[in-house]
């Protein structure tokens, strides 16, 4: 662990930016069709529950990283194995998200720039910031949060002023019953983006006021969830479900539909700022978690020795995890939620908490 | 051998101060003649060192008076020193030889500060800082009388920090004048000044000033330590010190703020900062500094809060323009034509049709031309300045466009950028933007908006990672400190900003309660019997 402290306010902002990172931009929860927003809302509920699990674990071990307390809960060997798996998980997701953002940028604006260059550039900036430590990452978040929210409000106002919103597009609600919605929640929106908060278990020990973790985390998840819901509602009501389901970046299409006074149009740059800032924090936090986890597990002193090797690992695996974008997407839909998100976000933390509760009861009795 | 050599080096380093400058701390000689010839030899018979020998009327006592011409006040020496020494009837009326100096100091020389000089080191130090040395034959000690003076620039309006409303005084090159300007503003015994000499050769007087009880002890100790670590042959300006004590020497952004205005220094001292005065320069450093401080001008504190707040906000926006305007133009025209509104795009491409260069080359050409003009403008003699600026304006504007080398839009962009960079009140911050702008243009030309947004994030991350004397540079914005926000991007009215910044000090109370002015309750309008139309009689 590095010597650093962040405030609950900064944690709130990091969670907010992290959640919004990709969820704002991609077509999220669309297997629930017009009720995607409902699926996101329910997913947020699930995310809040997950957060309570993580926070309960943190309460048992407020000063140490998960990579260490896993060893205390399940014993040295199993704990180390688990911690190692988590590191792989974080690195893999960091690489995945990096690939996602690279592909997005390539399709959206840079069709002639090699993917590798785009990824390398983004990762270079992340490595630079992470190198400065979690405090700097958090402070950068504070400033960019203001910018992002400012843009979001302007964007929202412009959409409303342009008279694009057709709330009819959202009706009928629950056309095919609650079934598809629940299915979407369980297979999709619970994990992305809400379950991904698991990465913040690696950040909790840096809090300067541990008591406020719960409030900061819950409000962070709730606010970001509501923002994603609003975005999805706006997307569907502006574009209609059919268009959204065919679009790769619904938000971009919504923004492109804005036209005010024949001058305020083509505000793609808003989308780009949101895209890059979000991606920056999402990958940055995953990368940071993997980094301190590795340093903690393998007892390496000083992050700077690990940062370049791990950065290269993320960069190259982002290029090699899939041979094409469609393969990448298929992996993301079929493989990752079931075999990675579900165990790492839900099952393992829940089991750990169970064991921790039992162990601590025993201790109290003795 | 090598061990001894190393040891010798070590000892040499330790004592260089004494050895190189003032000679060993040896005692003076008894004989006046040998003392004087030693001084002559040590100073290489320099022509500005005046040695006056005289004999008192009664006892025939030989007295030597030594001073450096130009840094002493001639009138003082003549009226109070030479005259009284020559006139005096009896120096050695009573007592032993040792008391001669005491008699001179107490009875004869009517000057403010007269101290004893015991050895050569002290003698040379006093002599070189403008004191006059008095040596008496047969005494192994001397006297130094404060006769500092000489020609100095008078107090003028500071040329680099002009304010619309506010005092017109600026610091001068004289350290004492500068500290006095601040002391006149803070009439408080708690205004403390510590002095030290830096620079082995120059022996520059450096003073730190702070308000005891407000400035934090931690910062003070840190500053003292950093100043004491300075080991250089010369300190000629605050820039030397700034470079040697800043937290992040490799950053293009300044982390120590300087000013030429005594009211700005007084304000900063009241907020718990520490000022560093250096003799021989009108610029005063104060630490710790934060980013937002470089965008605050003294005018903000003297004008109305709304105006001040919006001006500050504007300055930051304009700073961003001065950083990003050419880069954004390059990115938009080379990569993202689709983001430009159609009609504007038509206009732009019509202009650019005839231009033979890609946008980035065009931008570089114009920016470099402007930088040349600006740099030349500083160096040029004032007489030719006007001619050259007219020629420059023609080159940068009309002619370049007519020749078809640049597009008119580019000229507008460069002009806006150039003017924008002058709105930043702090020169050192503006110059940082000037440098980074060129890097950003390259980034824009190679990666478009993607590169620009990433560069923005990296610049922000870099700024967030800076510290000035341990204080986060971007505070109170990041980390967000609500209590300090009242005087940052915005300025709350005096009565609404009750506390000193928490960043610099723990003693936060700075004003009493109920400072918000309220009008008197009634002007007796209600109580009077009013008829219709009474109030708008006239």
In a domain, B436, yes or no: yes
Q: Which residues of B touch A136 (CB under 8 A)?
A: 461, 464-465
* Token pair listed for A118: 């785009």
In a domain, B30, yes or no: yes
* Token pair listed for A192: 């992305």
Q: What is the predicted pLDDT for the residue at B90?
A: 60
Partner residue opposite B453 with nearest CB, options A132, A267, A273: A273
Query: Over 50: is that where the pLDDT of B286 sits?
Result: yes
Across the beta sheet with B131-136, what order do the strands follow? Answer: B49-55, B62-68, B131-136, B142-146, B114-117
How many residues are there in chain A?
A: 366
Cβ-defined contact of B458 to A110 (cutoff 8 Å)? no
Cβ-defined contact of A266 to B340 (cutoff 8 Å)? yes
- How far is residue B195's CA from residue B186's CA, in Å, rounded to a whole number? 19
Coil, helix or strand at residue B527: coil
Q: Which of B334, B335, B464 to mutate to test the interface with A (most CBs of A within 10 A)?
A: B464
Partner residue opposite B461 with nearest CB, options A118, A121, A140: A140
Scanning B211-304, the segments in alpha helix (DSSP H) are 217-228, 238-245, 262-270, 298-302
Q: Which residues of A touch B478 (CB under 8 A)?
A: 138-140, 142-143
**Partner residues linked to B259 by β-bridges:** B284
Residue A296 distance to chain B (closest CA, Å): 23
Cβ-defined contact of A272 to B477 (cutoff 8 Å)? no
In a domain, B170, yes or no: no
Closest C-alpha among B488, B435, B159 to residue B294: B488
Q: Are the beta carbons of B18 and B24 closer than 8 angstroms? A: yes
Residue B331 distance to chain A (closest CA, Å): 11
Q: Which residues of B touch A (CB under 8 A)?
A: 335-336, 338-341, 447-451, 453-454, 457-458, 460-462, 464-465, 472, 474, 477-480
* Residue in chain B nearest A139 by alpha carbon: B478
Confidence of residue B390 (pLDDT cuts 50, 70, 90): confident
Residue whose tokens read 């953002």: A101
| DSSP letter (8 states) at residue B82 | I
* Residue in chain A nearest B478 by alpha carbon: A139
Q: Which residues of B touch A280 (CB under 8 A)?
A: 454, 457
- pLDDT digits 0-9 by tens, B294-321: 999 999 999 999 999 999 999 999 999 9
Mean per-residue pLDDT for A355-366? 83
Q: Are the beta carbons of B464 and B472 closer than 8 angstroms? A: yes
Query: Over 90: is that where the pLDDT of B339 sits?
Result: no
How many residues are there in chain B?
A: 538
According to the 3-state scheme, what is the secondary structure of chain A?
CCCCCECHHHHHHHHHHHHHHHHCCCCCCHHHHHHHHHHHHHHHHHHHHHHHHHHHHHHHCCCCCHHHHHHHHHCHHHHHHHHHHHHHHHHHHHHHHHHHHHHHHHHHCCCCCCHHHHHHHHHHHHHHHHHCCHHHHHHHHHHHHHHHHHHHHHHHHHHHHCCCCCHHHHCCCCCCCCHHHHHHHHHHHHHHHHHHHHHHHHCHHHECCHHHHHHHHHHHHHHHHHHHHHHHHHHHHHHHHHHHHHCCCHHHHHHHHCEECCCEECCHHHHHHHHHHHHHHHHHHHHHHHHHHHHHHCCCCCCHHHHHHHHHHHHHHHHHCCCCHHHHHHHHHHHHHHHHHHHHHHHHHHHHHHHHHHHHHHHHHC
- pLDDT digits 0-9 by tens, B440-487: 999 999 999 999 999 999 999 999 999 999 899 998 898 898 888 888
Confidence of residue B375 (pLDDT cuts 50, 70, 90): confident
Q: Which residues of B touch A271 (CB under 8 A)?
A: none
Q: What is the predicted pLDDT for the residue at B187?
A: 92
HSE, CB side, 13 Å, CA atoms: give it for residue A182.
4
Q: What is the predicted pLDDT for the residue at B22?
A: 44
Cβ-defined contact of A266 to B480 (cutoff 8 Å)? no
Task: Give the angle subtended at the CA of B247 by the CAs of A283 and A137, to the nearest 5°.
Answer: 15
- pLDDT digits 0-9 by tens, B174-222: 998 999 999 999 999 999 999 999 998 898 999 999 999 899 999 999 9
Residue A55 distance to chain B (closest CA, Å): 24
Cβ-defined contact of B461 to A137 (cutoff 8 Å)? yes
| DSSP letter (8 states) at residue B165 | S
Backbone angles phi, psi at B346, to 5 degrees: -60, -45
Residue B327 distance to chain A (closest CA, Å): 14
Confidence of residue A220 (pLDDT cuts 50, 70, 90): very high
In a domain, B359, yes or no: yes
Longest dimension (CA), chain B: 110
**B314/B258 same-domain check:** no
Partner residue opposite B472 with nearest CB, options A118, A139, A266: A139
Partner residue opposite A136 with nearest CB, options B339, B341, B461: B461
- pLDDT digits 0-9 by tens, B218-248: 999 999 999 999 999 999 999 999 999 999 8
**B116/B262 same-domain check:** no
In a domain, B7, yes or no: no
Q: What is the predicted pLDDT for the residue at A137?
A: 95
Q: Are the beta carbons of B409 and A83 closer than 8 angstroms? A: no
Partner residue opposite A266 with nearest CB, options B339, B448, B454: B339
* Residue in chain A nearest B344 by alpha carbon: A263
What totals of helices (H) and strands (E) does chain B contain, helices first?
A: 18, 12
Cβ-defined contact of B450 to A105 (cutoff 8 Å)? yes
Partner residue opposite B339 with nearest CB, options A133, A139, A268: A268
Most confident of A286-300, B13-27, B28-42, B371-385: A286-300
In a domain, B282, yes or no: yes
Mean pLDDT over the full length of chain A: 89
Interface size, chain A vs chain B, as Cβ–Cβ contacts under 8 Å: 86
**B324/B283 same-domain check:** no
* Residue A236 buriedness (CB in 10 A; 0-12 / 13-18 / 19+): buried
| DSSP letter (8 states) at residue B197 | E
Cβ-defined contact of B474 to A143 (cutoff 8 Å)? yes
Q: What is the predicted pLDDT for the residue at B537?
A: 52
Closest C-alpha among B74, B58, B36, B150 to residue B108: B58
- How far is residue A324's CA from residue B379's CA, in Å, rounded to a whole number? 59
* Token pair listed for A126: 């992340």
Q: Which of A269, A280, A282 to mutate to test the interface with B (most CBs of B within 10 A)?
A: A269
Q: What is the predicted pLDDT for the residue at B533?
A: 61
Q: How many CB atoms lie within 10 A of CB A46?
A: 18
Q: Are the beta carbons of B456 and B320 closer than 8 angstroms? A: no
In a domain, B484, yes or no: no
**B329/B457 same-domain check:** yes
**B280/B319 same-domain check:** no
Residue B339 distance to chain A (closest CA, Å): 5
* Residue in chain B nearest A255 by alpha carbon: B339
**B237/B325 same-domain check:** no
Q: Which residues of A touch B (CB under 8 A)?
A: 7, 9-10, 105, 109-110, 113, 118, 121-122, 125, 128-129, 132-133, 136-140, 142-144, 262-263, 265-269, 272-273, 276-277, 280
Cβ-defined contact of B454 to A121 (cutoff 8 Å)? yes
- pLDDT digits 0-9 by tens, B343-373: 888 988 888 888 888 899 999 988 998 888 8
**B119/B246 same-domain check:** no
Across the beta sheet with B204-211, what order do the strands follow? Answer: B191-198, B204-211, B274-278, B284-287, B257-259
Closest C-alpha among B317, B410, B397 to residue B356: B410
- How far is residue A106's CA from residue A87's CA, in Å, rounded to a whole number? 28
Q: Which residues of A touch B480 (CB under 8 A)?
A: 9, 142
DSSP calls for B307-327: HHHHHHHHHHHHHHHHHHHHH
- How far is residue A295's CA from residue A310's CA, in Å, rounded to a whole number? 11
- How far is residue A50's CA from residue A126's CA, in Å, rounded to a whole number? 27
Q: Are the beta carbons of B174 and B148 closer than 8 angstroms? A: no
Query: Over 50: is that where the pLDDT of B13 sits?
Result: no
Q: What is the predicted pLDDT for the residue at B81?
A: 82
Mean per-residue pLDDT for B107-127? 84
Partner residue opposite B454 with nearest CB, options A9, A122, A137: A122
**B212/B141 same-domain check:** no
Residue A128 distance to chain B (closest CA, Å): 8
Q: Which residues of A touch B477 (CB under 8 A)?
A: 142-143
Query: Over 70: is that where the pLDDT of B23 sits?
Result: no
Query: Over 90: is that where the pLDDT of A145 sits?
Result: yes
Closest C-alpha among A244, A278, A326, A228 to residue A27: A244
Q: Which of A14, A114, A266 to mutate to test the interface with B (most CBs of B within 10 A)?
A: A266
**Partner residues linked to A58 by β-bridges:** none
Longest dimension (CA), chain A: 75
Among B472, B490, B511, identify where a domain stops.
B472
Residue A50 distance to chain B (closest CA, Å): 28
Mean per-residue pLDDT for B100-126? 82
What's the pTM value of the predicted model, to 2 decimals? 0.89
Domain boundaries, chain A: 8-354
Which CATH architecture best describes the domain A8-354? Answer: Up-down Bundle (1.20)
- How far is residue A347's CA from residue A351's CA, in Å, rounded to a whole number? 6
Query: Over 50: is that where the pLDDT of A346 sits?
Result: yes
Residue B175 distance to chain A (closest CA, Å): 39
Q: What is the predicted pLDDT for the residue at A270?
A: 86
Backbone angles phi, psi at B275, to 5 degrees: -100, 145
Q: How far is CA B354 from CA A43, B399, B402, in A?
A: 57, 14, 10
Strands B257-259 and B114-117: unpaired
Coil, helix or strand at residue B135: strand
**B100/B182 same-domain check:** no
B476-508 CB burial, b ≥16 within 10 A, e <16: bbbbbbeebbbbbebbeeeeebbebbebbbeee
Q: Which residues of A touch B464 (CB under 8 A)?
A: 132, 136, 139-140, 143
Cβ-defined contact of A109 to B479 (cutoff 8 Å)? no
Number of domains in chain B: 3
Closest C-alpha among A142, A97, A15 to residue B461: A142
Q: Which residues of B touch A270 (CB under 8 A)?
A: none
Task: Give the angle subtended at the CA of B29 by the CAs of B23 and B30, to the nearest 5°.
Answer: 165
All residues at 6 or more sequence positions from B141 whose CB lies less than 8 Å from its CB, including other chains: B28, B101, B116, B117, B118
φ/ψ bin of A266: left (φ > 0), alpha (ψ from -120 to 50), beta (otherwise)? left
Q: Which residues of A touch B331 (CB under 8 A)?
A: none
Residue whose tokens read 């934090």: B216
- How far is residue B80's CA from residue B145's CA, in Å, rounded to a whole number? 10
In a domain, B206, yes or no: yes
Q: Which residues of A touch B336 (CB under 8 A)?
A: 109, 268-269
Cβ-defined contact of B464 to A273 (cutoff 8 Å)? no
Q: What is the predicted pLDDT for the residue at A266?
A: 76
* Residue B538 buriedness (CB in 10 A; 0-12 / 13-18 / 19+): exposed
Residue A145 distance to chain B (closest CA, Å): 11
ipTM metric? 0.94
Residue B48 distance to chain A (closest CA, Å): 55
Cβ-defined contact of A132 to B461 (cutoff 8 Å)? yes
Mean pLDDT over the full length of chain B: 85
Domain around B458:
304-472
Q: What is the predicted pLDDT for the residue at B534?
A: 57
**B132/B184 same-domain check:** no
- pLDDT digits 0-9 by tens, A184-210: 888 888 888 888 999 999 999 999 998
Among B451, B472, B493, identify where a domain stops.
B472
């Amino acid at each position: 662990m590095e010597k650093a402290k962040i405030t609950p306010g900064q944690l709130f902002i990091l969670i907010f930016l992290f959640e919004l990172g990709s969820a704002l931009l991609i077509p999220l929860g669309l297997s629930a069709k017009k009720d995607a927003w409902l699926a996101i809302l329910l997913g947020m509920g699930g995310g809040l529950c997950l957060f309570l699990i993580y926070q309960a674990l943190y309460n048992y071990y407020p000063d140490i990283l998960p990579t260490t307390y896993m060893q205390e809960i399940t014993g040295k060997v199993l704990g180390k194995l688990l911690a190692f798996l988590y590191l792989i998980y974080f690195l893999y997701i960091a690489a995945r998200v990096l690939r996602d953002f690279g592909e997005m940028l390539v399709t959206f604006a840079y069709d002639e720039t090699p993917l590798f260059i785009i990824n390398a550039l983004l990762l270079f900036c992340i490595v630079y910031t992470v190198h400065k430590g979690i405090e700097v990452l958090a402070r950068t978040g504070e400033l960019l949060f203001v910018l992002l929210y400012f843009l979001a409000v302007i964007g929202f106002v412009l959409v409303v002023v342009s008279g694009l919103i057709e709330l009819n597009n959202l009706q009928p609600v629950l056309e095919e019953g609650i079934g598809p919605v629940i299915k979407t929640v369980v297979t999709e929106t619970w994990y992305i983006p809400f379950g991904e908060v698991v990465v913040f278990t690696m950040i909790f020990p840096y809090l300067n006021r541990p008591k406020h973790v719960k409030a900061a985390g819950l409000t962070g998840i709730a606010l970001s969830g509501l923002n994603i819901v609003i975005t999805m509602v706006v997307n569907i009501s502006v574009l209609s479900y059919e268009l959204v389901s065919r679009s790769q970046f619904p938000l971009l299409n919504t923004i492109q539909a804005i036209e005010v006074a024949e001058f305020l149009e083509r505000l793609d740059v808003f989308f780009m700022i949101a895209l890059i800032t979000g991606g920056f924090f999402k990958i940055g936090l995953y990368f940071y978690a993997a980094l301190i986890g590795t340093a903690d597990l393998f007892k390496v002193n000083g992050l700077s020795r690990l940062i370049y090797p791990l950065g290269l690992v993320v960069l190259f695996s982002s290029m090699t995890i899939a041979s094409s974008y469609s393969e990448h997407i298929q992996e993301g839909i079929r493989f990752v939620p079931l075999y990675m998100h579900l165990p790492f976000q839900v099952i393992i933390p829940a089991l750990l908490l169970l064991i921790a509760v039992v162990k601590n009861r025993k201790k109290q009795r003795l | 051998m090598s061990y001894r050599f190393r040891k010798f080096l070590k000892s040499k380093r330790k004592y260089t101060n004494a050895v190189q400058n003032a000679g060993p701390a040896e005692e003076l000689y008894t004989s006046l003649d040998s003392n004087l010839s030693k001084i002559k030899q040590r100073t290489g018979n320099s022509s500005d060192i005046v040695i006056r020998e005289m004999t008192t009327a009664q006892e025939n006592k030989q007295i030597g008076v030594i001073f450096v011409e130009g840094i002493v006040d001639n009138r003082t020496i003549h009226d109070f020193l030479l005259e009284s020494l020559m006139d005096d009837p009896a120096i050695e009326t009573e007592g032993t030889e040792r008391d001669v100096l005491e008699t001179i100091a107490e009875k004869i020389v009517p000057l403010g500060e007269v101290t004893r000089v015991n050895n050569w080191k002290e003698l040379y130090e006093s002599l070189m800082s403008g004191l006059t040395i008095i040596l008496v034959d047969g005494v192994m000690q001397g006297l130094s009388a404060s006769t500092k003076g000489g020609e100095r620039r008078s107090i003028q309006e500071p040329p680099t920090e002009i304010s619309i409303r506010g005092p017109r005084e600026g610091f001068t090159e004289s350290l004492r004048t500068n500290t006095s300007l601040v002391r006149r503003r803070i009439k408080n015994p708690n205004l403390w000044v510590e002095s030290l000499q830096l620079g082995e050769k120059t022996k520059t007087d450096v003073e730190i000033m702070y308000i005891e009880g407000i400035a934090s002890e931690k910062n003070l100790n840190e500053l003292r330590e950093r100043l004491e670590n300075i080991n250089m042959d010369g300190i000629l300006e605050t820039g030397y010190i700034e470079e040697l004590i800043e937290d992040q020497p490799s950053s293009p952004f300044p982390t120590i703020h300087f000013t030429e205005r005594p009211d700005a220094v007084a304000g900063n001292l009241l907020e718990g900062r520490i000022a560093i005065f250096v003799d021989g320069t009108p610029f005063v450093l104060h630490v710790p500094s934060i980013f937002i401080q470089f965008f605050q001008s003294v005018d903000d504190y003297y004008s109305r809060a709304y105006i001040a707040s919006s001006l500050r906000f504007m300055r930051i926006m304009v700073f961003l323009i001065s950083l990003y305007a050419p880069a954004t133009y390059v990115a938009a025209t080379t990569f993202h034509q689709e983001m430009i509104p159609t009609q504007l795009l038509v206009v732009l491409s019509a202009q650019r049709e005839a231009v033979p260069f890609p946008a980035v080359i065009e931008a570089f050409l114009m920016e470099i031309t402007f930088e040349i003009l600006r740099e030349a403008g500083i160096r040029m003699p004032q007489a030719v300045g006007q001619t050259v600026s007219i020629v420059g304006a023609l080159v940068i504007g009309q002619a370049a466009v007519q020749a078809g080398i640049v597009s008119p839009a580019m000229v507008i962009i460069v002009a806006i950028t150039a003017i924008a960079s002058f709105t930043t009140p702090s020169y050192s911050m503006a110059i940082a933007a000037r440098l980074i702008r060129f890097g950003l243009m390259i980034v824009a030309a190679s990666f478009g908006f993607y590169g620009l947004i990433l560069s923005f994030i990296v610049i922000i991350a870099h700024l967030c990672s800076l510290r000035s004397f341990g204080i986060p540079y971007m505070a109170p914005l990041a980390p967000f400190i609500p209590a300090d926000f009242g005087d940052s991007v915005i300025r709350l009215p005096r009565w609404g900003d009750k506390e000193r910044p928490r960043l610099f000090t723990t003693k936060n109370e700075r004003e009493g309660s109920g400072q918000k002015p309220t009008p008197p309750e009634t002007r007796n309008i209600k109580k009077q019997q009013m008829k219709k139309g009474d109030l708008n009689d006239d």
